[in-house]
């Protein structure tokens, strides 16, 4: 009898313990469920009010987009202002620079966020200064590539009032100080820069040259140079030369043309710089 009573009492205690555990589990689940409902409700309220929170990476990305848009607008404005100040157009190279600036204004350069990168520290960069720099570089390249011309050629004697006959005269020709010089005999290189050299018969400045052309057929050995006569104002003088072969004639003809063009370009650049200083 006592053993049976003890068994019933133990079973009752176990049942009570199980019941309490079940109630505790139920309460825990209920609390979790309520917490979930509260979190969902707060999220819905935030979405409804338009206060959706952004992650740090998304906020940083949006900030970078805004900064890039501001930089793009500022650089476009600066380049447009630069193009509006470019009114000095001397030649076709100026038009090329202007079109290049226009293309840059349509697609601003990366990192152009400050006017200091576009303007010179002492003031706005003028187109004439850019053109002057480009031409200077081109002239330096031309001078390095100018051919070295020297050697003997025949020169037709000038027409004299008394003697109507013109004869061929062998002369030594070379180029020095933008002039085509000739003498009766060869002059050493180190002495050619002497303006008052006694062996130099004449100097033909390239700036006085009006025309350089072949004379006769393509296989001819002759060519001529027409210049403004320095002794008689308004008069023209023609020098006629003859080489041993047509190939030598072409070498002299093309070389003199290159030196002639280079001398004219140097003078043109000087006039542009003078105009820029006076403006």
9-68 pLDDT per residue, tens: 555 655 556 666 666 666 666 665 666 667 666 766 776 665 445 555 555 556 655 655
| pLDDT score of 244 | 94
Of 216, 174, 225, give the one whose Cα is nearest residue 199.
174
CB contact at 8 A, 156 and 168? yes
Domain of 206?
150-277
**Do 61 and 180 sit in the same domain of this protein?**
no
Q: What is the mean pLDDT of residues 169-189?
A: 90
Residues 117 and 178 in one domain: no
Specify the number of domains making up the chain.
2
User: Is residue 103 located within the same domain as residue 119?
Assistant: yes
Are residues 261 and 155 part of one domain? yes
* Residues 260, 183 within the same domain: yes
User: Which range scores top for mean pLDDT: 42-46, 76-80, 153-157?
Assistant: 153-157
Say what the pTM is: 0.49
Residues 63 and 120 grouped into a single domain: yes
Using only the alpha carbons of the chain, give its radius of gyration: 46
Angle 31-32-35 (CA atoms, 0-180°, nearest 5)? 85
Q: Which of 178, 179, 187 is CA-nearest to residue 151?
A: 187
Contacts 24+ apart (CB under 8 A), 230-234: 230/205
Q: What is the mean pLDDT of residues 166-173?
A: 93
Q: What is the pLDDT of residue 13?
A: 59
What are phi and psi for residue 167, nearest 5 degrees?
-125, 160
**3-state SS class at 112:** coil
Instruction: Out of 84, 109, 144, pick the residue that ends a domain.
Output: 144
| Calpha distance 238→241 (Å, rounded) | 10
8 A C-beta contact, residue 173 and residue 194: no
Claim to verify: residue 96 and residue 131 sit in the same structural domain: yes
Q: Is 161 within a domain?
A: yes
Choose the final residue of a domain: 126, 144, 162.
Answer: 144
Residue that is written with structure tokens 């057929």 in the block: 217
CATH number of the domain encompassing residue 210:
2.30.29.30
pLDDT for the residue 227: 92
pLDDT-derived band at 113, boundaries 50, 70, 90:
very low
């Amino acid at each position: 009898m006592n053993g049976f009573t003890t068994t019933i009492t133990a079973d009752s205690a176990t049942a009570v313990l199980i019941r309490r555990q079940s109630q505790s589990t139920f309460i825990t689940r209920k609390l979790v469920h309520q917490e979930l409902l509260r979190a969902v409700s707060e999220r819905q309220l935030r979405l409804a009010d338009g206060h959706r929170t952004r992650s740090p990476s998304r906020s940083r990305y949006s900030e970078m987009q805004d900064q890039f848009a501001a930089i793009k607008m500022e650089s476009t404005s600066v380049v447009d202002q630069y193009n509006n100040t470019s009114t000095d157009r001397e030649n076709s190279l100026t038009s090329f620079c202007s079109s290049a600036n226009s293309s840059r204004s349509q697609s601003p350069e990366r990192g152009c966020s400050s006017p200091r990168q576009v303007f010179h520290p002492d003031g706005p960069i003028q187109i004439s200064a850019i053109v002057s720099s480009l031409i200077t570089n081109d002239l330096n390249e031309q001078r390095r590539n100018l051919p070295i011309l020297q050697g003997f050629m025949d020169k037709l004697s000038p027409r004299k009032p008394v003697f109507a006959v013109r004869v061929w005269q062998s002369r030594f020709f070379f180029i020095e100080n933008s002039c085509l010089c000739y003498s009766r005999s060869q002059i050493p290189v180190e002495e050619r820069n002497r303006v008052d050299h006694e062996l130099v018969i004449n100097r033909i400045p390239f700036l006085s040259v009006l025309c350089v052309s072949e004379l006769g057929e393509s296989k001819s050995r002759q060519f001529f140079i027409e210049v403004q006569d320095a002794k008689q104002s308004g008069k023209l003088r023609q020098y006629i030369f003859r080489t041993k072969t047509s190939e030598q004639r072409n070498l002299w003809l093309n070389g003199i043309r290159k030196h002639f063009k280079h001398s004219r370009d140097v003078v043109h650049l000087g006039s542009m710089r003078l105009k820029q200083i006076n403006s």
